[in-house]
Each structure stands twice: as C-alpha cells, then as structure tokens.
Amino acid sequence: MNILGTVNKFPGGMMVIPLLIGTLIHTFCPSILQIGSFTTGAFTSAVLPAIMGFQLFCIGTNIRVNETPEVLKRGGVLLISKYLAGALLGFFVAKLFGIEGIFGISAIAIMSAVTGANGSLYLALMAEYGDNKDSAALGVMTIHDGPFLVLMTLGASGMANIPLISLFAAVLPLLVGLILGNLDKKIGDMFKPGISISIPFIGMGLGGTIDLTAIFSAGYSGIILALFVMVIGGGATFLADRYILKRPGYAGVALASAAGNAIATPAAVAIVDASYGTDVISSATAQIAASVVITALVVPYLVNFTAKKYGSPKLSVEDKNAKNL
C-alpha cells in the first residue's frame, strides 16, 4: 500500500491528514483515545506541548549563531504586521459600528482572532515548506499567544500581568538546541530528522483541539471572521513577507490562521473590562472557535499554492532532486 505517497499528494498532507483524523475523532467520538497512558499522550492534544518543544529543540540544533539576526528580523516583521492588521481592523469596526461590531462580529472577536496565529500549524507548515530560520521565527512570535496584545490594544494592559516566564519557557527548547548544535555540529545532524518526523503528531494533536460543531454554532458570522483572519491578517503578513522581508511569502500565508488559545481571550478581556457584556463575550467565543477550525483546514492549501507560485526552500530541493532522477 502506497500510504505515504497518497498522503503526500495532498497540500501539507503529512500534517493535514492527521489533523482531519484528529478533528473527526474529537468531534464524533472524543473518548475513544482518552484511555490514558501512551495512547492519550501520543494521539491527542496532550502531545502538543511535548512534541512542539521537541521540534523546536531539533530546529535549534540546526541553526547557526550567525543566522540569529535573520530569525529576529523575520519573526519581528511578521509579528508586527499581523498585530497591526488585527488592531487597526478592530479599531475601525469599533469606531464605525460600536461595541456590537459588524455582521454580528464584535471588535473584541476581531482583535482576538486576527492579531494572533496558530503556532502549531505554522511550525508544521514551515517544517514542510520553509527553512530552519522560518521555524525559529516562531520563538519571536509567541508574544501574540494569549490575551496580552488584545488587552494592551484595548487600553487594559495596566491591569494585566505579562507572563514573561511563559514566554521564556516557550523559547527555551530552541535556545538549548541552538547552543548544543553550535557546540557540536554532529548534534544538529542527529536531530535534523526529528523536525519532519514530529509533523504528523502535531497534526493529530491539533485536530484533537478542533470541534466541527463550532462552525455551526457560530453561524455565518464565524465564517466571516475566518475570512477576516485569512484575507486581512494573512494578507498583511503575506505582503510583509514579500515586500519587506523580500521573501516568497509562504511564511506570511502560514500565519493566516486563528490561534486556538484565542478562544479564551474574550473571557480574559471581560475580567478586566466590565463594559463587555455576556452576550458579546459568548458570541465572540463561538465565532473565534469557528475561525480556528476553518483556518486550520484552509491555510495549508493556501501555503501550498503560495509556495508553488513563488517558491520555497523545500520545494526547490524537491524539484532539484526530481530533475536529477
């Protein structure tokens, strides 16, 4: 059976197919893998922290110290462009349409969904299409995780504690790998296969966080919010990648998603700003959940299209190998 060949025919197949399997299991029979021990640890969302930490370590072992400025530049430009897209859109909607927003989508829902991105999805896609510096740039972009940027944008940052230790914990595996890989290049050679080996587990784990019913509970507003995330947020990062960083653009498109942890942002905002009522918060939560599902399924195809149209390191290597054959 040519299982691997069939999976690789799909854009981002090594991540997308396990993601779809995990999504279907989580939606229709979520308890089937919750039997504990290694099964739950390897094939559910419980795997994400460990496997992403492992992949970041493997990436770090293959980054040379002289590449660090480029990593900071890529991560910084993409982080700022995604944040500005969501913040400006949210301000625009709030100014013109008030707290309830447009199409039933509040400013808080827009800011929460558009300013961030799905780090797991980005990391898996960069392992398939990008280079080590693309993947390492996620360490810079972890600042968009959680509600901090949204709280800051809404003028509530004075009441929020910046989880600096959490940010440090997110990049520590990368730093440890970077140090070891630069001390001994053979360590980088040893762990390089781990970058791609971890992709199916990330896909399966990410699927374990997605419930397809979220799309239906949010209605058309969830779909519109997903379009905001992909077209405006992803459009901003694509343009920044193409015209500021002077790169093909696939990394920018890989950020055209909504982060899973953004689902909890409206509730966090409501704690520090009582002007947001229960109705606004509950509808925003459902809409963000729908945008997370939709963007996770669509973005891999957008990245594949962009990489084929404008090029990417991995596709260039594959094309070169195909010609040699």
Answer yes or no: is pLDDT of 151 > 60. yes
Per DSSP, the residues of 54-103 read HHHHHHHHT--GGGHHHHHHHHHHHHHHHHHHHHHHHHHHHHHH-TT-BT
pLDDT digits (tens, 9 = 90+) for 6-19: 877 776 677 778 87
Tokens for 210, please give them. 């997605």
- pLDDT of 276 > 50? The answer is yes
Ordered by where they begin, the domains of the chain are 11-312 (1.20.1530.20)
pLDDT of residue 180: 95
User: How many CB atoms neighbour CB 304 within 10 A?
Assistant: 22
Q: Which range, of 153-157, 218-222, 321-325, averages the lowest pLDDT?
A: 321-325
CA distance 188 to 65: 13
